[in-house]
Amino acid sequence: MRFKSLAIFLIISSFFLTCILSIWKIMATLQGLSFTNLNVTPIFLIGILLSLAFVLIGNKINHLIKIFSLSFISSILYFYLNEASPLWYILGVFLITLFFTNKLKKYSIQSLKEDFISEKIIFDFITLFGIVFFAFVILFPFYIMLVTSFKTQIALLVNPLDFSLDFTKSLTELFKSYFVIFETYNFGRYILISSVVSIGTVIVTLLFAIPAAYAVARLNFFGKNFLSTSILIIYMFPAIVLVIPLYTVFSQLGLRNSIFGLLIVYTATTLPVAIYMLQGYFKSIPKEIEDAGIMDGQNWFGIILKIIIPLSLPAIASVALYVFMIAWNEFLFSLMFLDSPKSFTLSRAIQYLSGDAETPRQYLMAGSVIVTLPVLFIFIYFEKYLVSGLTAGSVKE
Amino acid sequence: MSVSLSKLEKRTAFTLVLPAVLLVFAIVLFPIFANVWISFKDIELKDIRIPEPRAKKIVKSIPENQSELKIIYKLRNSSLIQEIRNVQFQDKLPTNVSPINLDPRCNFQSKKIVCNFGNWQAKYRENFEIIIQSNNGEIIDKKIIKSQKPILSGKADNPLLTTNFTLENFKKVFYENNFVELLLTTFYFTFFGTVGAIIFGILAAQLVNQNIQGRTYMRGILLFPYVGPVVALAYTWTLLLDPNSGTLNALLVNFNIIEQPINLLGQKYITMSILGFEFKLRLALTTVIFFEIWRYFPLAFLFILARLQAIPQSLYEAAEVDGASPIQKFIHITLPQITAIISILFMIRFIWNFNKFEDIFLLTGGASGTRTLPINVYQQGFAVSDIGMGSAVSIVIVMLLLSFMIIYFRLIGKRANEI
């Protein structure tokens, strides 16, 4: 029994070590190191030796001394078994093994006797592996986007694996793509248009949504239930089926290529979800507070303005951010309605750039970084509000 | 008193709701019904403008006579299919200038030439000429004449509002363009995209729900693909997967995992052999599905995580006492608690994936076997410029969607309120 769990422990832990070291190797390859072999077997063997040594030593020496010395020995071993590599790479290997041995902390010969220990080992390492895996898979494209914007097309065609940045170059040289897209491709204008459209959408949506949500949450009127069900159904309806009729009508009304036209469409498509999110919050405000307002002789307008809005600022903020992100990221309508570069939004401008096969990819990626950064910043900064907004906005009555 | 109060309440409610309802009606509901109308019409992109009479003015000097000028109006009907009725024409002349031998259709009074051209057939064209003469024998300034633009007006039917209908569009949708394959591709994409996103969502939620350090950061990072702009993400993936100098292919070739770069987004089929069985995999479609999973598993993750965090810890503690293994805990405690949210997620994501346009459009443009119904709406309506056909495909989408929704409300609608 103890032998079996020991074997599982050794295999799983070394498998995990092999995975992170391979990812490290891939990342190093992208810095221009010319590795041509993943060398999985030796790393796996090192992992097994390391884990075995770890549980055999047990508590005989201080934990810190133990992990440092073990990591150091394995790094040296790794250095000799691997292709020629610079010092910073081996330092990375050392830090990774340090992290790894520290994770082994709770295992010892004694703990391998516990119930279900094999399952627990598997779960533990799958968790660790999963986190590394997910983080890598998610962040890798963003990383490529960012570094490509600092490279040149020619350099990437010569060696598509070299993403190392040359910091000896001047800053203007390094940020050249950004200067080019602002100067040659007019991105300043597109940023302005995108901001105007998105912020405008937020304002107009809130103006329409707050009264409507209040009515749905508080007042009794004919067709109220029908209205709240249709909000959800409308939210499910796809933009693509609206496109052709809207295109024809907008063409005849001269609303294509106009920011105003885009604003109307964005507002109408985000209204259902905004109303839905807000009315849920309004319902949670105690009715007594409003009754007090009615006693004071407030009309409904006053109640909304003086009681409801101040009390539901967090909800309004999360709706505003959510609507802003939808409008900022929107692509389909801007593709259909805008065909003059004068009125492009950022997304449409990037798509337009990519339509020309001659456009060097670093410009495309610089544009992508510019359109992505604001949303990511807003998201990171206001994550708490946004997450509650996302959860409320996407599901059920 | 109470009657008037409830009346007042109703009136207030309507004033509060009406602006939003009207806007949504105009932009969301009206187009859905308009689709039905357009789908029965034989109409192309170039026909949607209301026909209007147009005139291009050309001014020519007459060498023999300096005090005269020839004006040519190139008149035409902007529409190739519709007539314009009762076309009126008007142009102004400067003082002391008058036309000679004016066309019988026209009048000249108080410095204006006014003509009544009657009805113009579709494609109508005419070079209409006027000779003008200076009354006092001075040379007429050509620029002044040229700067004055003629005004034309006429009555024409809006091509969208005519009442000639046809079933041709629907016939074409079902019998041409490989409708069955289109439908199958759409269902593959929708189904596997949805299931994949939910499976990865469960895995990620299970991971983040463990007591790990930096769990809030992890939750933030996991949501990046969902909040990022689709244009930026799709182009990054295109670059990453590019067969010629894309990072992924370069890495795989570098580490000798594959011999030749694979065109992941441009190749329709790839032949795989597993245990001696050879089968064809829809390569480009699979790649697009992976992008879809990558982009939308965060949403599933978020909901499942919220649900997981609401499960009382005491359940797990009780199981611990009973000696349950981690797998048993997952199957007997966690899974039953999240089935409801999973079924809702499945339906919502299924409907949304079914409608997905941008992702496929940006990655492959619908080539290499990735043409789904929404892509087909775009291709018919704007690439082939057959608006009627595009609308007919939209109607097919709406019909399928409605049936999904009916199924949804029948099966899960009641349960949704329990959560």
Give contacts of A26 with chain B, Cβ < 8 Å.
251
The C-alpha of A222 sits at a distance from chain B's nearest C-alpha, in angstroms, of: 8
Find tokens 């990626």 and name the residue: A365
Give contacts of B299 with chain A, Cβ < 8 Å.
390, 394
CA distance A327 to A324: 5
What tokens were used for A209? 């949504």
> What is the reported pLDDT for B292?
94
Residue in A closest to B350 by C-alpha: A236
Give contacts of A303 with chain B, Cβ < 8 Å.
none
- Name the pLDDT band for B418 (thresholds 50, 70, 90): very low
**By C-alpha distance, which of A98, A107, A102, A106 is closest to A52?**
A107
- Name the pLDDT band for B100 (thresholds 50, 70, 90): confident
CA distance A318 to A312: 10
Give contacts of A239 with chain B, Cβ < 8 Å.
355, 357
The residues facing B125 across adjacent strands are: B76
Give contacts of B251 with chain A, Cβ < 8 Å.
26, 29-30, 161
Residue in B closest to A351 by C-alpha: B231
The enclosing H or E element of A213 equals: helix A187-218
Residue in B closest to A120 by C-alpha: B326
The C-alpha of B34 sits at a distance from chain A's nearest C-alpha, in angstroms, of: 6
pLDDT at B79 > cutoff 80: no
> What is the reported pLDDT for A392?
58
Residue in B closest to A145 by C-alpha: B236
> What is the reported pLDDT for A395?
45
What tokens were used for A122? 């598997």
Find tokens 């078994």 and name the residue: A81
> What is the reported pLDDT for B419?
42
Mean pLDDT (chain B, rounded): 84
- For A391, which of B16, B237, B303 is closest by C-beta distance? B303
The C-alpha of A204 sits at a distance from chain B's nearest C-alpha, in angstroms, of: 10
Q: Say yes or no for a CB contact (<8 Å) between A379 and B223.
A: yes
Residue type, A22: S
Burial degree of A5 (CB within 10 A; 0-12, 13-18, 19+): buried
The C-alpha of A48 sits at a distance from chain B's nearest C-alpha, in angstroms, of: 23
> What is the reported pLDDT for B415?
55
Residue type, B249: N
Give contacts of A388 with chain B, Cβ < 8 Å.
none
pLDDT per position in chain A (397 positions), as tens?
577 888 888 888 888 888 888 888 888 888 877 777 777 888 888 888 888 888 888 777 787 888 888 888 888 888 777 767 788 888 888 898 888 888 887 777 777 777 777 777 888 888 888 888 899 999 999 999 999 898 888 888 888 887 877 777 778 888 888 988 898 888 999 999 999 999 999 999 999 999 999 888 888 877 788 887 787 777 777 888 898 899 988 888 888 888 899 999 999 988 988 888 888 888 888 888 888 877 877 777 888 888 888 888 888 988 898 899 999 999 999 998 998 888 899 999 999 988 887 788 889 999 999 999 999 998 888 887 777 766 655 443 2
pLDDT at B315 > cutoff 90: no
The C-alpha of A375 sits at a distance from chain B's nearest C-alpha, in angstroms, of: 7
CA distance A345 to B240: 25
The C-alpha of A59 sits at a distance from chain B's nearest C-alpha, in angstroms, of: 24
Give contacts of A244 with chain B, Cβ < 8 Å.
31, 35, 38, 377, 381, 387, 390-391, 394
CA distance B83 to A261: 30
Q: What is the interface size between A and B, counted as CB pairs within 8 Å?
A: 293
Is residue A348 within 8 Å of A256, Cβ to Cβ? no
- For A144, which of B236, B254, B377 is closest by C-beta distance? B236
Residue in A closest to B243 by C-alpha: A160
Is residue B69 within 8 Å of B59, Cβ to Cβ? yes
> What is the reported pLDDT for B92?
84
A48-53: Cβ within 8 A, 24+ apart: A48/A10, A48/A11, A48/A14, A49/A74, A49/A77, A50/A14, A50/A17, A50/A74, A50/A97, A50/A100, A50/A101, A51/A9, A51/A10, A51/A13, A51/A14, A51/A104, A52/A10
> What is the reported pLDDT for A264?
92
pLDDT at B1 > cutoff 80: no
- Name the pLDDT band for B202 (thresholds 50, 70, 90): very high
CB of A295 less than 8 A from some CB of B? no
Number of residues written out for chain A: 397
pLDDT at B147 > cutoff 50: yes
Does the CA dihedral A33-A37-A41-A42 come out positive or negative?
negative
CA distance B254 to B248: 10
Q: What DSSP character marks residue B148?
A: S
CB of A395 less than 8 A from some CB of B? yes
CB of A226 less than 8 A from some CB of B? no
Give contacts of B357 with chain A, Cβ < 8 Å.
238-240, 332
CA distance A25 to A43: 11
| DSSP assignment of A332-391 | HHHHHH--SGGG--HHHHHHHHHHSTTS-HHHHHHHHHHHHHHHHHHHHHTHHHHHHHHH
Does the CA dihedral B199-B201-B202-B207 come out positive or negative?
positive
Q: Say yes or no for a CB contact (<8 Å) between B401 and A238.
A: yes
- Name the pLDDT band for B246 (thresholds 50, 70, 90): confident
- In three-state secondary structure terms, B172 is helix
**By C-alpha distance, which of B392, B217, B193, B379 is closest to B296?**
B193
pLDDT at B134 > cutoff 50: yes
Q: Say yes or no for a CB contact (<8 Å) between B10 and A160.
A: no
- For A160, which of B48, B245, B355 is closest by C-beta distance? B245
> What is the reported pLDDT for B414?
58
Give contacts of A157 with chain B, Cβ < 8 Å.
245
Is residue A121 within 8 Å of A10, Cβ to Cβ? no
- Between strands B151-155 and B84-92, the pairing is antiparallel
The ipTM estimated for the assembled molecules is 0.90
pLDDT at B417 > cutoff 60: no
**By C-alpha distance, which of B405, B392, B401, B385 is closest to B44?**
B385
Q: Say yes or no for a CB contact (<8 Å) between A244 and B38.
A: yes
Q: Say yes or no for a CB contact (<8 Å) between B23 and A208.
A: yes
Query: Which whole-number Å values give the CA distances from A373 to A189, A192, B333, B355, in the listed order?
Result: 17, 15, 40, 27
> What is the reported pLDDT for A192?
94
Find tokens 């946004």 and name the residue: A386
- Name the pLDDT band for B133 (thresholds 50, 70, 90): confident
- For A328, which of B15, B229, B398 is closest by C-beta distance? B229
HSE (side-chain half, CA atoms, 13 Å) at A36: 2
pLDDT in tens, B320-361: 888 887 788 888 888 888 888 888 888 888 888 998 999 999
Give contacts of B348 with chain A, Cβ < 8 Å.
236, 394-395
pLDDT at B2 > cutoff 80: no
- In three-state secondary structure terms, A251 is helix
The residues facing A162 across adjacent strands are: A31
What tokens were used for A384? 């708490």
pLDDT in tens, B4-19: 667 777 888 888 888 8
CA distance B257 to B278: 20
CB of A3 less than 8 A from some CB of B? no
Is residue A4 within 8 Å of A118, Cβ to Cβ? yes
pLDDT above 90 covers a percentage of chain B that reads 18
- Between strands B106-109 and B112-120, the pairing is antiparallel
End-to-end CA separation in angstroms for chain A? 52
Give contacts of A242 with chain B, Cβ < 8 Å.
27-28, 31-32
Determine which of A198, A248, A305, A384 to mutate to test the interface with B (most B C-beta atoms within 10 Å). A248
